[in-house]
Amino acid sequence: MTLVMEFTNVTVHAKANVYFEGRVISHTVITGGGEHKTVGVILPGSYHFGTGKAERMEIVEGRCAVVLDGSDKSNGYTGGEAFDVPANSGFSITVEGDPCHYICSFLG
């Protein structure tokens, strides 16, 4: 299943945000209402991200397993599902098989 999201009146930063030696790549999108998002892809592997602001990670396509900081529980997510990450926290994400495509919205 491929989830399609359409954004109108946006600014896209053409220079990519590149993490983990190119295994995670995203582009910043700023909506007409001032919301900041990133649209990206995570290649197979395990990674840890820290957060400043609260985030909502929407999985567009693919699958991943996520452990929020402070938890030992791993939750699986696939296209069309989302998870929230508290501010000043973080999460570990593992992708196996196909790349995981996502949209990250910065909350608050």
Q: In the chain, where are the structural domains located?
A: 11-107
Q: In this structure, what are the phi and psi dihedrals at residue 21, rounded to the nearest 5 degrees?
A: 55, 40
User: Is pLDDT at 7 greater than 80 in this prediction?
Assistant: no
| Mean pLDDT of the region 36-49 | 97
Given this model, what pLDDT does residue 56 score?
A: 98
Given this model, what pLDDT does residue 2 score?
A: 56
What dotted CATH number matches 11-107? 2.60.120.10
Please answer whether residues 27 and 61 qualify as being in contact, where contact means their C-beta atoms are separated by less than 8 angstroms: no
User: Confidence band (pLDDT; 50, 70, 90) for 18?
Assistant: very high
